[in-house]
Chain A
C-alpha cells in the first residue's frame, strides 16, 4: 500500500534537537491527520487539516508544530521534545472532513524515540 507515505520511518532524537516528520498522500484527498500511538493507549488525534487549513488542534503541546503547505503534504515539526513523546506517529488522509462515512487511510508511521 503506497497511498500514504511517511518519512522517516524511524527517528531517534535528543531533547534539544529539532526534526520534522513528513507525510505525503497520493490519493487525491482533501483532509490529512496526525495521530500519536503510544503503548496501551488508544490512538490520539493530534491535528486535522482540511484543504490546508487546520480544523483541529487537540490540546497538543506547542513543541509539536504542524504544517500543511498543500493538500498532499503534511509535516510535523518537533522541537525540545520529552522522553514521554516517544511513540509511533501516524499520518492519515480522507477524502474530506465533513462526510459522516469517511474512511481514513493511514501511512506506515514514524517510530520516534526521544532520549
Chain B
C-alpha cells in the first residue's frame, strides 16, 4: 500500500541548534500536510503544501515540497524548548479518497535547554 516514510524517528538537539525532519513517498502526492503533537497532546495542523517545489515559512519553521511531489521537509531554525513534540507529515494521493491522509510515523524532537 501507499506509505509515507519519515526520518529520523527521534532527534535530540541543544537549544539553539537547527532541526530537520524528512518525509518521502514512493508515489506522487497531490499535497502534503504537517502536524505537531506536543507530549500528551493531539495533532495540531501546521501547514499544507500543494505546488511542486513550494516553500512556506512560519517564523522559524520552513516547509518544502519537492519538485517531484514525492518528498517534503520541515526545518526549524534555532530550536527552542517550546518546539518539543512529535512532527508528522500526512500526504494525500491523487486518485485516492480526498479525505484519506497517509501519516508518517513522526519525528520526536526533544530540546535540551
Contact = CB atoms under 8 A, between A and B. Distances in A.
The answer to whether A and B assemble together is: yes
Contact of A43 (B31, B88, B97): B88
B30 A41 contact: no
Interface residues of A, dominant DSSP: loop
Interface residues of B, number: 25
Nearest to A109: B42
Contacts of B69: none
A60 B43 CA distance: 22
Nearest to B105: A42
A33 B50 contact: no
Contacts of A101: 31, 48, 50
Interface in A23-70: 31, 33, 40-43, 45, 48, 50, 55-56
Contacts of A99: 98
B38 to A, nearest CB: 11
A31 B99 contact: yes
Interface of B: 4, 30-31, 33, 35, 41-45, 48, 50, 88, 90, 92, 97-106
Interface of A: 1, 31, 33, 40-43, 45, 48, 50, 55-56, 90, 94, 97-109
